[in-house]
Amino acid sequence: MGSHIGATTQSPSLAVEGVGGFHPISLRNRVERHPMAVLTGGMEQEIRFCSAPDGVQLAYATHGQGSPLVRAGTWLTHLEFDWASPLWRHWLAELGRDFRMIRYDERGCGLSDRDVMNFSLDDWVSDLETVVDDADLDRFALLGVSGGGPIAITYALRHPERVSHLVLYGSYSRGRRARNDPDAVEQEDALIGMIKVGWGGVNPAFRRVFTTLFVPDAAAEQMRWFDEIQQRSTSAGNAIALRRARSSIDVSDAAREIDIPTLVLHANEDAVVPFDEGRRLAGLIRGARFIPLEGRNHILLEHEPAWQQFVKEVRAFARPDSGRELRYAGQLDELSRRELEVLRLVATGRSNLEIADTMFLSERTVERHLSNIYAKLRLTGKAARAAAASILSAAGDEVERAESE
């Protein structure tokens, strides 16, 4: 297990520069608590540290209650500052109501070690493996936001038994340099040039380019915060190395092999990751459900309708106890009476041949009904039969009540 520094919102932790880069220290009684540090409901985060196989120290935080939801590492995070951020606060509060949320600063960023040489997809997946093992998680929902998506996809392919649900927001399978698009490469080169020139400067003009791409509809306070978090989260050198590594990623083949319930959401005017990349990603993953969101913010803002839809969809998809009977009954609404009858017999453990004999049907007809059931419930793979029966069981009396009306 990793080390625990007792870093709740009452005792914040920051990174200080020293020999070998930035190191986490406890600042108990040495800083004032940020007035926005305690989320709705009095939620606090607990920060811990663990070491990756190559010795890089990783910082991760947990908060909230419920089934576990892990956010794969992504660019521009800082566990302590994000907790009080006007851009991320509502994400953490809402998801913490429904889940025990685990998130971490990727290598080179935030409270994790800054003095890092290796940035690659394999390193990032190894870091995710390290964090979930240290947090003692057996099975969990996995959230990939933006550049965290390819990491989540690769992890899910390598460890399908540990991922119950895969949620991908604003993400992609191909980085800018892997899209066979000269304009995308030119844009990436221009952004890296801006990092070289203006990342570490006092004047935020160059960083404001990234801010307006990520959150064009943000208020002045939110834009100032994003300008600042870019410097606070990582160095210019690390920012360039991270962007270069991500721009060459292509996990298209891995995405085609995913056989886990998957939800893909993407804002239709996202300027950071094109909408078509999100649509393409959903098309690669068997059975993935795609939710287009109306908006242009890469980081969804609290008061925009797209945020409310995001929360609703993720809650219904990944939380096992959310309005349990009503939610699962709603999933069964699309089934015909005959399909429900077949599913009830499946739930009793009968084989297709036994169901055919009971219902006076051919076995081929039963198989066709089951294919329709799986398609309507968006289930795939060898576990589809058991999952469908589980949904019927979870719906409980609501199915019977609906049929009697």
Residue 142 belongs to domain with CATH number: 3.40.50.1820
Domain contains 211: no
Domain co-membership, 28 together with 82: yes
Domain contains 224: no
Q: How many domains does the chain have?
A: 2
**In one letter, which amino acid is 1?**
M
pTM over 0.95: no
Give the pLDDT confidence score for residue 16 in this predicted structure.
Answer: 35
Q: Is 335 exposed, middle or buried (0-12, 13-18, 19+ CB in 10 A)?
A: buried
Domain co-membership, 250 together with 336: no
| Residue ranges in the chain whose pLDDT is less than 70 | 1-42, 320-331, 382, 393-405
SS (H, E, C) 252-291: HHHHHHCCCCEEEEEECCCCCCCHHHHHHHHHHCCCCEEE
Nearest C-alpha neighbor of 248 from the set 126, 149, 120, 143: 120
Domain co-membership, 239 together with 301: yes
Domain co-membership, 302 together with 379: no
Taking CB atoms within 8 Å and a gap of at least 24, the contacts of 227-230 are 228/204, 229/76, 229/78, 229/81, 229/82, 229/85, 229/87, 230/76, 230/199
Give the pLDDT confidence score for residue 1 in this predicted structure.
Answer: 52
Domain contains 123: yes
Domain co-membership, 263 together with 307: yes
Question: In this structure, what are the phi and psi dihedrals at residue 337, rounded to the nearest 5 degrees?
Answer: -60, -40
Domain co-membership, 266 together with 353: no
Give the pLDDT confidence score for residue 201 in this predicted structure.
Answer: 76
Domain contains 223: no
In terms of residue numbers, what domain contains 359?
324-404
Strand partners of residue 263: 167, 289
